[in-house]
Structure formats: structure tokens, C-alpha cells
Structure 1
């Protein structure tokens, strides 16, 4: 497996992308709660719309550097499916991507808090511990993995910014959990006691069911898209193939 960009640069891109994604999620949630007080449906619409657009832009901006995973679940499945064909992330890549994503997510939450005059860290008090929410996270994460690898396997990874943004935007509404579908984003959202927050005590179970959803999504990829691991280098979107600067 070969990558156009050195690992340190790809890790920086993953930290920046995940961080800005969390900033978009939390920042738009704070803005929505302020602009539309008392109307939870409108707040969710505003939050989902901003997140869908923001995610698409971040994939376009940073995908050429790192592939724009911004999600430990995506990175782990990319590594796992690519092993048999020596494509996708190596174990060394994975060891750099995951801490970068988690650290970036936490920094992104702090940035959003500070932009809106909140305390840098305010632990969320929004409890999200319920069985139906765990089902929602399983469905959201499985669908995300299936979508990403379907695009890569079929040679349509260039559509990932639009498709992944659209999927997350719609999953805000069709899943009971509002589609976190991302362990790093889940951890980051615990650092903000705002509209988009999640209580720290709810985080472990959310991540566990995201992991289960990722495994389920990977199983569906194997069933529906044979040899999908051969396209792991194109997840989420192809990195730049020219000479590295």
C-alpha cells in the first residue's frame, strides 16, 4: 500500500478534519438553540443541515491528503478489509489516525465552546442511555460503512463528499440517536453541555454499538461487494496521487 502524503501530514489532516467536524456539529447546535428557542424540530433541522454541508466541505478540503476518514470506525474497517489485498491503512497508519481523530474531536468541541462564549470544557448532562438509541447508532454506523465502501468498490469515491454528507444529514432524522456514528465525534461531544452534547456516562455504550454497527456494515460489504478490500485506498475519497511536496 502506498500513500502520496507522509503519515504525519495525513494525521494532521485527520485531526483537523475531525476537529472541524465536531466544531460544526456543536457550533451549529448552539446557534440553533439560540436562534430557534423552544422548537426542537427546527433546531435539529438547522443542526443537520449545517453538519451535512460542513462534512461535505471537509471531505473536499482534506480528502486529497488523508482520505478524509475523520472516524475511527471507518479507519479500523478500512485497515481490516484491506489486509488481504495490502491496500488501505497499515497498522502503523491506524495507530496514528485514531489518536489524531480523538484528539481533534476534543479540540473541536473546545473551539466551538469558546466561539460561543461558553466555558472551554463543560461536561454534557444530556443522557443518551436507552436501548432504542443503541439500535439507532448500530443502524447509522452500519449504513455509513456500507455506503463508503460501496462507493469505493464501484469507482465512485469521488462522489463521497455529496453522498456521505447527504447520508449523515438524513440519518439525523431517520435514526433515533440522531446519527453520531463516530467514536471520535461522540467523545468530543461529551465536552460540551449544549444542544449536541452527550453525557460522558453515555459515551461507552454509544461507542460499543457504533463498533457493532461497523462490524455489521463490514459484513454487508463483504456479502454485497466481493473483494471490496481492494478499493480500501479510495476510502473515504482517493488521496492525491501526484508527487508529494
Structure 2
């Protein structure tokens, strides 16, 4: 991929996911310490997350594709843009990097390295919200690549910023991030017992997004386009 060997691509995936999680968890801790207003704390958690995604995708995208998300790696494997063995290694790197990101955030704020979350996030509404969040993320990525690849960092950053607020789950949309967030008993945490529902919903949403967008974005054959009058002979 773009001249970068697999070890460097895996390192980029681990590093990017780690910095993403450190931002999510760290900004959540900071926001919670600075205000008792939950809405303001969520805003303080949202803006840094959207911003860091723009940065990380811009600087690491040319190396690994900047998936930072097992659901995204699954989608690219389905589309044969990455082989399945590499996708599996990407997912492992993302999970390891995500856990390291939680540890880094805890170290910065003087907390235990790992602390299981007690924050309940479960139920059909939350699961559906996660499916919608992952669906929208995949749609944003695939359409962005198709029509304006240079804008993808901004599109993803802006989408996640918005999805924090319009989804009931605050848009995890990422199994590796969900796993990492189960290891912090802070503002951004999720109980480990609630992980399976979130992860299944995220993967299903991503798959539906991939299938729909693959059909929607497929280039129309020239002969068919002529018949429909969209191309002049």
C-alpha cells in the first residue's frame, strides 16, 4: 500500500488508534473535571475527538489507510482493497493500540492503568444507535473516497462530531475503541458486559453501509448510460 510495508502499516494503525483513544478518554476526563454540566462535558469530549481524527487521518492515511477501526478494516477487506490476513493484523493492531491509548490517558491524569468501567450502555435503542453510527461512518468514508478523497479527514472528523450528538450511544462506531473504553471508569467508559451488543451492532451497521454504498456508488456502464440518456453518443 503506497510503498509502505506491513510492519509500518500496522504501527500506523496501532499509533493512530492509540492516539484516538487517548484523546477520547483524556478529553472526557478533563471535561468531567472542569464542569458538572453533562452537556458541556460532552461538548468538551466531542470537539477534540473530531479534531484529532482530521489530524490522524491526514498524517497516517498515506501509510496505512487510517482505518483505526476493525469495522472499517472489515469493510475494506470485503471490497478487496486489503487482503483478509492483513485486515486481521490491522484489527489486532487497532485493539492493542486502543488499550495502550486508555493506559496513556490514565497515566496523564494519575489514574490506575486499567479500571473496568461501571457505566451502563445497553438496550435496543443504544444498539440501533451504534448500527446507525457505524453505517454513517462507512457511508461517509466510501463516498468521500469516491468523490473527494482529499476531504476524507474532514468528512470523518465532522461526521463523528455530529454523530456524538445525534446518536443515543454518542457514536462509538468502532469495536477497538469500545474495547478500550471498557477499561476506563471515567466519563467515556462502557461496562465490559455491554461490549458484545455494541460490537455486533457496529459490525452489522458497517456491513449494511458497505453493501448499500457499493451499489449506490457503482459506476454506470457506458452502454447502459447511453440507453438511459445520460451519455450522448
1:25 aligned partner: 24
Q: Identify unmatched segments of 5+ residues in structure 1.
A: 83-87, 228-245
Alignment of 1:3-14 (within 5 A): 3-14=2-13
Q: Is structure 2 residue 76 aligned with structure 1 residue 95? A: no
1:162, distance to aligned residue in structure 2 (A): 0.7
1:60, distance to aligned residue in structure 2 (A): 1.3
1:34 aligned partner: 33
If the length of structure 1 is used for normalisation, what is the TM-score? Answer: 0.87
Following the alignment from structure 1 to structure 2, what is the Cα–Cα distance between the partners of residues 225 and 168? Answer: 22
1:58 aligned partner: 56
1:92, distance to aligned residue in structure 2 (A): 2.4
Following the alignment from structure 2 to structure 1, what is the Cα–Cα distance between the partners of residues 47 and 55? Answer: 13
Alignment partner of 1:137 out of 121, 130, 137: 130
Measured against aligned partners, the alpha-carbon deviations of 1:75-109 in whole angstroms (never above 9, x if no partner) come to 11011012xxxxx1112211220100000001100
Following the alignment from structure 1 to structure 2, what is the Cα–Cα distance between the partners of residues 8 and 104? Answer: 14
1:167 aligned partner: 159
Structure 1 residue matching 2:99: 3-state secondary structure: helix
Measured against aligned partners, the alpha-carbon deviations of 1:165-222 in whole angstroms (never above 9, x if no partner) come to 0000000000000000000000000110000000000011100000110111012112
Following the alignment from structure 1 to structure 2, what is the Cα–Cα distance between the partners of residues 95 and 209? Answer: 19
1:214 aligned partner: 206
Q: Is structure 2 residue 107 aligned with structure 1 residue 114? A: yes
Q: Identify unmatched segments of 5+ residues in structure 2.
A: 220-233
Following the alignment from structure 1 to structure 2, what is the Cα–Cα distance between the partners of residues 6 and 106? Answer: 24
Following the alignment from structure 1 to structure 2, what is the Cα–Cα distance between the partners of residues 131 and 79? Answer: 28
1:55, distance to aligned residue in structure 2 (A): 1.0
Following the alignment from structure 1 to structure 2, what is the Cα–Cα distance between the partners of residues 33 and 198? Answer: 16
Q: Max radius of gyration: which structure? A: 2
Measured against aligned partners, the alpha-carbon deviations of 1:25-68 in whole angstroms (never above 9, x if no partner) come to 0000000000112x000000110011000111111121111110
Structure 1 residue matching 2:58: 3-state secondary structure: helix
Bigger RCO (CA 8 Å, 6+ sep): 1
1:226 aligned partner: 218
1:3, distance to aligned residue in structure 2 (A): 3.7
Alignment of 1:170-181 (within 5 A): 170-181=162-173
If the length of structure 2 is used for normalisation, what is the TM-score? Answer: 0.92
Superposition RMSD in Å: 1.0
Point out 4+ residue stretches in structure 1 off by more than 2 angstroms: none
